[in-house]
Structure formats: C-alpha cells, structure tokens
Structure 1
Amino acid sequence: MGFVLFDHTGPFEPMVLSSEGEFQVIQVPASINCRLLEHQREGVKFLYNLYKNNHGGVLGDDMGLGKTIQTIAFLAAVFGKDGGGGDSMIPKGNQVGKGPVLIVCPTSVIHNWESEFSKWATFSVSVYHGANRDLILEKVESHGVEILITSFDTYRIHGSILSEVQWEIVIVDEAHRLKNEKSKLYRACLEIKTPKRFGLTGTIMQNKIIELFNILDWVAPGSLGTREHFREFYDEPLKHGQRSTAPERFVRVADERKQHLVAVLRKYMLRRTKEETIGHLMMGKEDNVVFCAMSELQKRVYQRMLQLPDIQCLINKDRPCSCGSPLTQVECCQRTVPNGIIWPYLHRDNPDGCDSCPFCIVLPCLVKLQQISNHLELIKPNPRDDPDKQRKDAEFASAVFGTDIDLVGGNSQSESFMGLSDVKHCGKMRALEKLMFSWVSQGDKILLFSYSVRMLDIVEKFLIRKGYCFSRLDGSTPTNMRQSLVDDFNSSPSKQVFLISTRAGGLGLNLVSANRVVIFDPNWNPAQDLQAQDRSFRFGQKRHVVVFRLLAAGSLEELVYSRQVYKQQLSNIAVSGKMEKRYFEGVQDCKEFQGELFGICNLFRDLSDKLFTSEIIELHEKQGQEHGHNHSTRQESTELGNCFVSLKEASVTFSSGSETRKPNDLERASTNKPMLEDLGIVYTHRNEDIVNFGPGIQRKEEVSIPQNDSLKQPSIPFLGKRKADKVGGKEKATSSKDWKRSQYSLLAQSMGMGVVEFSKWLLSATPLDREKALRDFKKRREKMPNG
C-alpha cells in the first residue's frame, strides 16, 4: 500500500490510453505520468484495458511497487482529471457522467488513500466509516461524491446499503481478504452492482489454490468456470503433480494444466515482483532459514508436553478402543479427555464435551508447543488474563516443567529482570545474542519481528541488559505515533534495533535504514513472513538486506516452515506457471496422501531425533546429483532453480553498498561444525534456493475456458520441450536470469557441489574464498575449447 514519491521519471506529457480514432481521448495527466516508473505505466494500461472491456481483474504487484498510485492514475484518466489542484469547485467527474467509485480497504489505510488522492489529482473523496455515515450516503446518492472509501468491517456490516448504489468501479485493496468464499465479507462483496471489479494484492494466493479461484471469480465471474470444475481441472492435478513420488503421467498432466491456467490468468491478472521491476535500483535480498537447537531444558519440556493425555488422545485417535468395541478411540471412549490439562478448562461449562471433540483442542495444543519452541516463559500465566485462566495456565506449566520447575523459577511469571534477559534456557535467544553482537559491531541496523507481544517483552529486556538502543511498535502503539517512530528509527544512527509485532505492523511501514531482518517465530501463512521482510526490502534501500528466520530445530516449527515451502511452491506454480522442485509426499486436503506434512499425527510428531527439514532438502539434492546430465529440460530447470546470486555477485553477496565487509558468524559458520555449535545452530540454508522460483511460462496463447462441468477437456496448446538456439557453439540464454542461473549452477559443479550445498558454502566463505573460487572457475572456463 505504501508508496514512495518518485522524482520525475519521464517526460512531462500525458499518457494516452484510448485507441487511435476513438471519439473520447482517455489519458493520464502529464503531472502524474511524469512521476510514474515504467512498470507503473504498464499497470495503468492493464487496468484501463480491463475497464474498456467492461470487466474486472487483479493488479498483483509486490508490496511497495505503487499499486495505489497506479490505481489513482487510472481513475484520473477515466474521470478526465488534469492532475492538478484546479480552481473549479465542480468535480470534473460529474461533467463526464461517471458513477461513483467504491474503495474497500483495511481501516489502517483509509487515511493513506485519502492522502494519496489529495496529492495526485482533484477528486471529491468521502469516507464511509464511523459517525455521519447517513450524511455521506445522501451525498453519494445526490452525485456529490466521486470516490467513496470504506473499511472491510464497515462494508461487511453495512454492505447491503452500499450495494444499492450503481457503482462505476469497485476496488478492493488487500484483495486476498476475499480468499474465503464462506466469509461474510466475501458474500457481502458479491452483492456489489458493477461489472468493473478490481482487486489489489501482492499475495493473491497464500494458503490454498482455491483462494485464487475465489478472488478471480469475484473480479471476473465465470472466468475460471465453476468452483467444482476448477477443483477438478486445476486444483487437484496441480497438487498431486507436485507430490515427490507422483507418477510421470501425473506430473505431465499437472504441467499442462498449469500452463493452461496461467494463460487464462494472464487475461485478468498482472503479477510483477520487485526483482523484475525495480530490482536494478536495489542491492538485493537474501533470506536465510536458521534452525536453532533448543536448550536441553526446552527439549525436556517439549517431550513432557507431547506426553500429556490431551495430545496422546489426538495421536492415538485412530487406534482400536481399549474397551473392546469395534470403534476407534476417538469414536468411543476417548472422544473427551477429562483427565487432561487443556481439555477440562476448554469444556468447563460443558463437561460432556462439544460437537468437535476432541479436535477442538488441536489449536490450543499447537499454540503451547510453539510457545515452548520460542521461550519457556511464554507458557507461564499471563497477568493480563482473568484469574481462572491464570490458575489453569499455572497448572499446565507445572505439568510440563515437572522436576525442572525450579530451573525456570516456578510456574508463575518471572519478575526477575536478570532471569528474563538470560539466554541460557532458550535456543533462539542464544543464537540471537551472538548474531546481534556481530551485526551491531559492524554498524548494521536490525528489524526484529515476533507475533507474540510477550516475546517482544522478553527481547526488550535482553536489549536493555546488553545496552542496545531500540524502538518498539506493537498493537498498543497509538496509530498517530507509528509514523514518527518509523521516521525516528530511519534518521537516527543511534537506533540499532526495531522491535515490531508481526500482527500490529500494519501497512506502509517503510524501514529502509535496516539491513538485517530477524523473524523470531514463523507463521503458518508464508505471506506474513514475506511481508515482514518487505518492511526493509523496498525502494530506497541502499544496502543488501539479509533476513534470518529463526526456527527451533526438532519442533513443530520445522513443520510450519515445510508447509510454508509447500504453499509458496503451489503459489508459484498456479499463479506464475513456474517449475518447482518436488520435495514432499503430502498433498493438502487429501487424507490418502497426508505424507510428512498433513494430518494430526504429523502435527504432534516427535521430531527431536530427526533433522526433519535438512533430511528432506538434502535427499532431493542428492537425488538431483545422481541423475546428473540425464535430466530432461523440465528437470534441469527444476534443479537449477532461480538463484538470485549471479556469478559476479557470488563474491560480494554480503557487501554493504560498495564496500565488502567481513562476513558475520553465521556467514562463516555453515561448514564449520564447532562454530555452528557455538552459535547453537543445527542447520541453515537460503530460502530462495529451496523455494525454487524456477522459470515461468513465456507463451501468450489464447486459451478458451469451459464455463460449466459439461466440458471437461478444454483444448490445451501443445508445449513441447524448448530447444535452445545455438549461436557459435553456445546456447543462447533466454534472459539474464536464465544466464545467471546456469552460471551459478556451473560454478557449483566446478566446486564439486550441488546448488543447495554451494549456497550453504557461500554463507560460510570469506570474501577471499569467494574470489578464489571465481578465479579458478574463470580459468577452467577459458581452457575449455569453446570457452
């Protein structure tokens, strides 16, 4: 949502959108057009073409690429605005006979929209939110309003009133909020009276492929057929084709359906990333996933948690009941857990259980496991809770602390500053302590995100103890103070760390002075973690951004991250038609193939004796090396991935600006076991090497889509293997990214490593090591016959 005001980037002249010969000339005013970047001009043209064809679509740019200004530029053209303040008291929009525009957005960005409209063009803008809604509605009905802005919550409640208005255009900002067709918001938005519905979002698909259908079917009804057809023709084949042991015919069908889906989506959605639009204006980003060893105390507490009657009931749910009946335990005697710790409190008002028993305790149990993974203090009673819950939490803490209760200072919240700021019983804090010392000594500035306010409290005490200067923003921070906190952090050299609640971060936080991002606890929804990173990695960032996602090795968090990878890969496949590595046997929403990722038994599996993630990743890497050069074109693309570190960049991955600085502890440690152990790190890799981001589909065939279930086999263009052009005995690279990927892969091979292994080596190598590897590679290449 947030947008940086760029200097003039083009000539001071209008951008004509209408076709030559059209009676009415539709154009973006010169005062707006001269400040647009090239990708933004393309976005405006895309929106206008949808509008001209009398249907809607999705502008799916990454956060920070200026979706707001593209939308305003498009509206200024449609409403015939001149882009300036103007002297006329009568809005030009009324003169051209257009109906009003409705913008539905999060409450936190209503003011941003108002502000941007006032900067860029003269519109009559009103807000339908809070008091005076009736007066605003009367103004709309009397044609005194061109732009009406309202919030999701207000529209969900009062949508029936607003749906009576005949809107010229409806725009939903953060359109991924429409991903659930069963939500009240989605049903309310279906009642909007206009064919021109536009969605703005950088994360159109977050968790499931069907979310893609729900949003597209709202902006362009029928464009993807019926929901049942979409599930059968796209959703199921794409998921099953991604299974690690899927038969070749499943993979082939998935590839065909993926190509077909992307060709259809291209008509209704424009999706661009930072790397392909303004990447040349930025230093780049590296996303490290760091698996921290839990402390011995954490491991014991985690094990005791898994042994509680509540979780044992869930683990053993499908076993035969011990009473001798033919039913399973969950259908018979173990539907309720009266001897548990968590179940009795949840059912204190209904001791016979609820309709969902025992599955109603899954979420509370997962929350407790995540708390143990992050910091043992989190499972103690929260003084902000009511006394009854505090008593129950104290009972739970006593049960899982067991004989270690004295080591953690009892089962009530610690008041000891020194105890809370001590890192010895928390694996993540131990690693963070040493990493932060390295970063701060080198002048780095750090963003630290956590979804838990109590975790931020603990980190805050740690920062005070260490003498670091910091800022903090969470849900209790007044809205009118947030921007001043951001400005102060960006401008003050003394501010070293910014603590931010992942849930309260909001939109528009531009923290480009920070070049280190720590995500302390992973989210089930990968978009949440990626948006946190984007607070720093956006236009205006002058340094290379390095992200560190901290995970507790051997805990539920490994499964959370693996599901993130699974979801990101499905999104890349469905939205962009990219080629992805096949790691997992699990298939979402399929009981037959729950594999290693899905189902209750996987959620509560004891992973303490496994290197869960590294075993999956390195098994795939090993299989890739064994197949060698016998891969098909598709498989080669999958193995190469889209490693953003080019051959030339490999030696300066960790530079800040133009200066190459000394690598920090993690960067040196990956292949040095004693050093890794000193940091308390079990394993680390780069997320961009795991989530493949392989090449997308380049073709632009026109593809017809069936509108009902009677047509099960729409025509699919035949896509044979792409043959490389030969120029002077060398393959002609299709793009600079393809060239970088191929060179990176060759460099890895010259070191006797696979791509993932080489990426891990880069984390540990010194600049001298990297330069030597680069020189040796160049020498070998020059000696080759065609070198």
Structure 2
Amino acid sequence: MASMQFNVLLTTYEYIMKDKHVLRKYDWQYIIVDEGHRMKNAQSKFAMTLGSLYTSRNRLLLTGTPLQNSLPELWSLLNFLLPTIFESVDNFEQWFSKPFSHFTGTGESNELTDEERMLIIHRLHQVLRPFLLRRVKSSVLDQLPDKVERVLRCELSGWQKIMYRRIQEGGSLLMEGTQDGDDAKKTTAFTAKGLSNILMQLRKVCNHPYLFQTQGYPIDFDIVRSAGKFELLDRMLPKLHAAGHRVLMFSQMTQLMHVLEDYFNYRGFRYLRLDGSTSADEREQRMFMFNAPDSPYFIFLLSTRAGGLGLNLATADTVVIFDSDWNPAMDAQAQDRAHRIGQKNEVRVFRLITNSPIEEKILSRATEKLNMNNLVVEAGKFHAKSKESDRRAMLESLIKMENDEATEADEALVIDNDELNSIMALTPSEEKLYQQIDHDRATRERHQYGAHFNRLMHTSDVPAWLKEADAAESLKEHVDPDTLAELKRKRKDVSYRDMSEAQDYYNIVQHAMDLQTIEDRIESDEYTSFAMLERDFKLMFDNAQLYNHRDSLVYHDAAEMAKVVKSRLNAYKKPKKKKTS
C-alpha cells in the first residue's frame, strides 16, 4: 500500500477498525459501505471510526433497508454522508417525527390531520431526495416471479395454554424434574423456576412446550399435538412435499431448531440445518448441497440472523417464518434467500402466528415498522423517473390504508383445512391433491386413535404431571408460603395478571421492558443516543414501580437501581478532563 499502486481497496468492517492507524492516513476519493445499515447506530464503534477518523471527498452507502426501526437510524446514515448538514439527531426528530409518533406510542400524530401529516412527510421526502437513489427488484428484473406472503394463525394447545397462564400469573413455571425417593428410586417432582425474561418465555411457550423439558421428551405424535404451530406445520409439509415444492424454514431460536429436527426425523423429511455455529466453509457446502440438481433435501432449516444474509437458495419456492423477528427487516432479508435472481416460480411466504397476545404484539409492531418504511421510503419513490403526482398519490393511499387498518378489527381467525389448501395450492390440481391428503390423514388417524381424536392437545389430554402441577394444592406444596402470599397479593392488586381483564394485559405487554431486551438492543446497535437507552431503563423501572405495591421489595429495588443507572450514565456522558502536565 505504501507505493499507492492500486485503484480500489476492498476490505472488511473489522479491518476498518483494526488497521485504522494505516488506512486513515490516506485521503480517499470514495468511501463506499456495503450493507450500509450497519451505520444505523451513530454511536457504534464502526460508525464512529469510519465517520470521524477517515477522510474522503465522497461517501456512498449501499443498503436495502435504510429505515428499519426509527427515524434516528435514518439520521445516522445521513450524518455519516453529510455530518455538517445532518448534525443534530434531536433537530431531525423534532422536524419530522410527529407523523410517525403513533408507531412509538407517544400519540402526537393523533393531533395532526391527514393533510398535515402529508405535508411533513412530503418535506422529509424533499430533504432525502438529493441523497437517496432507490432501485427495487421489479425495476431491474422484469422476469422475477411474484412473492406472496400470508399470515397463518393457529391455536395454542392445552399444554401451551396452561404454561402461558402460569408464566403470566406468577412469573414462574412448574417444570417436570426428578428427585430421590425413600427407596432410592427416581420419582417425578415439580420445581418452580423463576423466569427473568417473561416475554422471551412466553415466546418459547408459543413455539413449543418441549423447550422447557429439561429431562428430554419422547419422539412421537405428541411432538405434533402439544404445539399449535407444529400441528399446523404437520398439515402443510406433507402436502408441499407431495407437490414437489421445497422449503426454507426460519426460526429465531436454535433450541427450537433441535425440536424441529426431531419432528423432521419423526416424519422422515430430509433436511439441512444452518445457524450461527456453522462455519463459513460449511455454509457454502450446505448451500451447494441444497441447490444441487436432484438434491434429496426437502427443507433447509436456518436461524433468521445467521441464514438471512449471503445465501442464494432460489431452488426453494416456499418460505416458512416459524417465529417472527421484532425487526421486520430481518424476516424480509430471510425471505429474499429464495426470492432472488434464479427463481423460476412464485415464492410463497407463510408466517406462523399463534392466537396469543405476545405474538400478535410482535406482528403488530413489525407492521408498524413496515408502515413507517412505506411512508418514508416507498412513498418517496426515490428514482429518476418518478413524478410529483405519483408520489403524492402513493402517499395519500398509504395514509388512507393506515386509517383503514386502524378502524377494521382483525378477527384473527384460526385457519381450517379448506382455507389452508386454497392458500397453499398454486393450481386446481394441487388443491385437489391437498384435499386427498387431508382425507387420507383423517382416515388413518381415525382408525389409529378413534373417532373422537383431537389432533391438537386439549387441556384434558396434557400429561398427568402437568395437571398435578397446575392444581392449586400442588402449587401450595412446591412454592414457599411467602412466595405464594406475594403471588396472591399481586393478583389481587394488579389486574393485568388476570387474563380475563385483557385490556390491562395488553397495556403491560405493549410497554414491557426488561434487562435482556436492553442487552439485545445494545448488542445489535439499536441505540443511536444515550437518550434512547435512558428511556428504556426508565420504562423498566417505572413498570416495576407501577405494578408493584409501594411497600414491596421490588418497588424499592427499582428506585435504587434507577438512581445507580442514572448516576453511571451521567458519569459516562461527561467529557473526560485532559491531564495537565
């Protein structure tokens, strides 16, 4: 490099930081960042290093998702490109945030008329237009087949309903375990396991109750019956396999992927797996194995974060999002593993959702983020041939669509076989095939299990140990009296613990916050300012004080922790004094 005998330096994000002492010395003509959304957090080490230590005449960001979660993320990208113009994130939010405030829960957008919202968004488009050029697949790939996404809802099983209720009511879960009996033989016991991250545990329950089985589980038909999504999947995969389709299945949880593998083996489906522990060489090898002509593999099971980037799996034409990401951009990137150059068939995306408050909330939040992206990016039509009249018409239609969504109640119907077949089938012959598979399966199960057999486990069918654990007397035996009294007091004082009072429950889920979520947001560089981090900590401590009695330990602990966090953050924000010699 010392001789300067090169035109382009191609490097990685890591080496930008590792070799900054060498690379920062050059006056670059262009700095081009692929996957530019990595700059969405202006306080991240990568963004600060590249933005402040490197000099260049021109800067360019390449990204498919300029707006993922919030306007401050968009400002971070603009701040990197033109730091002297986009200097203050607070000013940027103050100018443009009101039309989108109902997405963040402040409700300020309700004070605006549709015309006022359109005016502010139009001004934002004018600000962005000189700096944003957008190309979508449809503009460069006329022959790319369509992609159709459908949400498929299913019920929770009786097992899941008991566990879901137990977590909500007490923040603890009765689990099957073992203990030594008097005769030195192992006997079943039940232990109350404290749950530090309630939202994560509720998500695990919605996926499969076996995620809580520390003693293992049998690989039989109960793996299907005990989880609503598995029962729905068991009605889908045999049909897709029989019709010659191939499936990419994405999940957030590697532990769940183990259970899915057990199910695939139980049903005899050939599959490949890829997650964060898969090496780079193995990733490439498995991609070739799946894409090979006459490949025997029906399913490619991938973790959303690890498998959502850098893979071309266009030989699959069906995508199953088993559990959704809070960030819809992650799921969209996962879907594009199949919907890309080389795809010859229509791609169908099936998003599995249980009729549970937590998963409905995740879906709702993802929809809000997509709506914000539509208003800021899609409606701007940032390409050379767009007309002002086209942009205004699209913006009007999107705002009207938002209003329609707000007034129409979502019935959230669980899908039956006829509707499922209609959604899945590409042709009438496929639909007839799927109907025959349903008929054959029903006949087989009726002969094997009886006429009154239920595919989805009811509360009356759950294992005996779970029935015992769910009984009030069993709870008294295995939770100490002080804890039991505290749970009773909380259920009396805090109405959201009672599932019959649904509105209060929705409120607590809507504004829930915990340390694990804060840690995850820090790891994924979602915080673009100290103010955002402080807001989340404040929300967590306020919730603890709001939903616990003033005399409780939790209330006082929250107050003390709030003081400590505030002190630490203030100390970190203060500029360090330079030492004088």
Q: Which residue of 2 aligns with 1:162?
A: 23
Q: 1:151 aligns with which of 4, 7, 12?
A: 12
SS in 2 for 1:546: strand
Count of residue pairs the alignment pairs up: 395
Shift of 1:413: 3.8
What is the CA–CA distance in structure 2 between the aligned matches of 1:441 and 1:186, rounded to whole Å? Answer: 49
Unpaired runs of at least 5, structure 1:
1-139, 312-339, 344-360, 381-411, 586-613, 622-650, 670-676, 681-787
1:431 touches 1:679 (CA, 8 Å); kept in 2?
A: no
Per-residue CA shift, 1:280-303, capped at 9, x if unaligned?
Answer: 302211101112211111011011
2:252 touches 2:304 (CA, 8 Å); kept in 1?
A: yes
Higher relative contact order (CA 8 A, sep 6+): 2
SS in 2 for 1:198: strand
Q: Which residue of 2 aligns with 1:307?
A: 169
Q: Which residue of 1 aligns with 2:277?
A: 476
1:416 matched to 2:218? The reply is yes
Per-residue CA shift, 1:252-303, capped at 9, x if unaligned?
Answer: 222112112222322111122223432x302211101112211111011011
2:13 touches 2:46 (CA, 8 Å); kept in 1?
A: yes
Q: Give matches, 1:38-57, under 5 Å.
A: none
Shift of 1:519: 0.8
Shift of 1:555: 3.5
1:583 touches 1:617 (CA, 8 Å); kept in 2?
A: no
What is the CA–CA distance in structure 2 between the aligned matches of 1:571 and 1:663, rounded to whole Å? Answer: 39
Q: Aligned partner of 2:375: which letter?
A: I
Cα 1:565/1:197, change in 2 over 3 Å: same
Q: Which residue of 1 aligns with 2:390?
A: none
Shift of 1:583: 8.4
2:34 touches 2:61 (CA, 8 Å); kept in 1?
A: yes
Q: Give matches, 1:293-692, under 5 Å.
A: 293-308=155-170, 342=194, 364-380=197-213, 412-414=214-216, 416-418=218-220, 422-490=223-291, 491-505=293-307, 507-577=309-379, 578=395, 579-581=397-399, 618-619=408-409, 655=426, 661-662=430-431
Shift of 1:504: 1.7
Per-residue CA shift, 1:382-439, capped at 9, x if unaligned?
Answer: xxxxxxxxxxxxxxxxxxxxxxxxxxxxxx24153337x7211111000001111111
Shift of 1:225: 6.0
Per-residue CA shift, 1:538-575, capped at 9, x if unaligned?
Answer: 12111111111111211311101100000010111112
Shift of 1:372: 1.1
Per-residue CA shift, 1:72-130, capped at 9, x if unaligned?
Answer: xxxxxxxxxxxxxxxxxxxxxxxxxxxxxxxxxxxxxxxxxxxxxxxxxxxxxxxxxxx
Q: Which residue of 1 aligns with 2:143?
A: 281
Cα 1:663/1:583, change in 2 over 3 Å: farther
SS in 1 for 2:15: helix
What is the CA–CA distance in structure 2 between the aligned matches of 1:582 and 1:299, rounded to whole Å? Answer: 37
Shift of 1:161: 4.4
1:141 touches 1:165 (CA, 8 Å); kept in 2?
A: no
Q: Aligned partner of 1:480: which letter?
A: D
What is the CA–CA distance in structure 1 between the aligned matches of 2:143 and 2:317, rounded to whole Å? Answer: 15
Q: Which residue of 2 aligns with 1:236?
A: 98
Cα 1:620/1:450, change in 2 over 3 Å: closer
Q: Give matches, 1:11-30, under 5 Å.
A: none
Q: Over aligned residue pairs, what C-alpha RMSD do you find?
A: 3.5
What is the CA–CA distance in structure 1 between the aligned matches of 2:243 and 2:276, rounded to whole Å? Answer: 31
2:309 touches 2:333 (CA, 8 Å); kept in 1?
A: no
Cα 1:173/1:241, change in 2 over 3 Å: closer
2:102 touches 2:110 (CA, 8 Å); kept in 1?
A: no
Q: Aligned partner of 1:443: which letter?
A: G
Q: 2:74 aligns with which of 209, 212, 226?
A: 212
SS in 1 for 2:301: strand
1:238 touches 1:258 (CA, 8 Å); kept in 2?
A: no
Shift of 1:451: 1.9
What is the CA–CA distance in structure 1 between the aligned matches of 2:34 and 2:337, rounded to whole Å? Answer: 18
Q: Give matches, 1:254-273, under 5 Å.
A: 254-273=117-136
Cα 1:289/1:463, change in 2 over 3 Å: same
Q: Give matches, 1:699-718, under 5 Å.
A: none
SS in 2 for 1:556: helix
SS in 1 for 2:290: helix
SS in 2 for 1:148: coil
Q: Aligned partner of 1:430: which letter?
A: E
Unpaired runs of at least 5, structure 2:
174-191, 380-394, 412-421, 439-452, 457-581
Cα 1:537/1:190, change in 2 over 3 Å: same
Q: Which residue of 2 aligns with 1:5?
A: none
1:652 touches 1:660 (CA, 8 Å); kept in 2?
A: no
Q: Give matches, 1:762-777, under 5 Å.
A: none
Q: Which residue of 2 aligns with 1:221?
A: 83
1:427 touches 1:552 (CA, 8 Å); kept in 2?
A: yes
Q: Give matches, 1:79-228, under 5 Å.
A: 140-191=1-52, 192-224=54-86, 226-228=88-90
What is the CA–CA distance in structure 2 between the aligned matches of 1:517 and 1:269, rounded to whole Å? Answer: 31
Kindly, what percent of the aligned residue pairs are identical? 30
1:160 touches 1:188 (CA, 8 Å); kept in 2?
A: no
What is the CA–CA distance in structure 1 between the aligned matches of 2:343 and 2:23, rounded to whole Å? Answer: 41
SS in 1 for 2:398: coil
Shift of 1:496: 1.2
Shift of 1:455: 1.3
TM-score of the two chains, using structure 2 as the length reference: 0.61
Q: Which residue of 2 aligns with 1:401?
A: none
Q: Which residue of 1 aligns with 2:557?
A: none
TM-score of the two chains, using structure 1 as the length reference: 0.46
Shift of 1:374: 0.7
2:225 touches 2:455 (CA, 8 Å); kept in 1?
A: no
